[in-house]
Amino acid sequence: MRTTALAALATTLALVACTEASSVAPTDTPVFDVASPEVQWGAMETGTHSSAAVAKGFPCGVGPAGITTQSHATLSNSGKETLHCHGQMPAGTEPQKAVILRGVLCGLHFGGFTTNSKVEITPGGRVNLRCQTP
């Protein structure tokens, strides 16, 4: 279901990348295709909880860096979740300048999706994803 939801929003992600990217000159194009169905953001599985919880090391999609287990999610007693995932793009695919995306659809580890997100991709290819419930 997440794959279907993410694929359905591929066009939206492409628009977000074009309109929300910062620090990129208009003539620069990111090396990755955010509209590709292979580009996934956020937790790839749902954790279980009964109250506040912390999870680490679960599979997390970090777009052009693929799937990583460099992940951390916290869930407060009030139900607010924060997700952090980090990955590295393959050599030779890094952007020339930093890319920042906001509002990408992100799967939360403890369930649900959010667009309250920020992706930072460094010229060195480091991808940092942060998603949080509103």
In the predicted structure, residue 109 carries a pLDDT above the cut 60:
yes
Q: What's the confidence (pLDDT) of residue 20?
A: 35
Percent of the chain with pLDDT over 90: 56
Global pTM? 0.67
What does the angle CA 88 – CA 91 – CA 95 come to, to the nearest 5 degrees?
Answer: 75
DSSP, residue by residue, the chain: -HHHHHHHTHHHHHHHHHHH-BS--TT---SS-TTSTT--EEESS----SSSEEEES--EEEGGG-EES-EEEEE-TTS-EEEEEEEEPPTT---SS-EEEES--EE-TTS-EES-EEEEE-TT-EEEEEEE--
> What digits encode the pLDDT tens for the residues 28-82?
444 445 444 455 666 766 666 567 899 999 999 999 999 999 999 999 988 899 9
Nearest CA to 30 out of 42, 19, 43, 44 is that of: 19
In the predicted structure, residue 95 carries a pLDDT above the cut 80:
yes
* Res. 13 pLDDT band, cuts 50 70 90: very low
Q: What's the confidence (pLDDT) of residue 45?
A: 60
Task: Give every CB contact of residue 25 below 8 A, 6+ residues apart in sequence.
Answer: 97
Q: What's the confidence (pLDDT) of residue 52?
A: 86
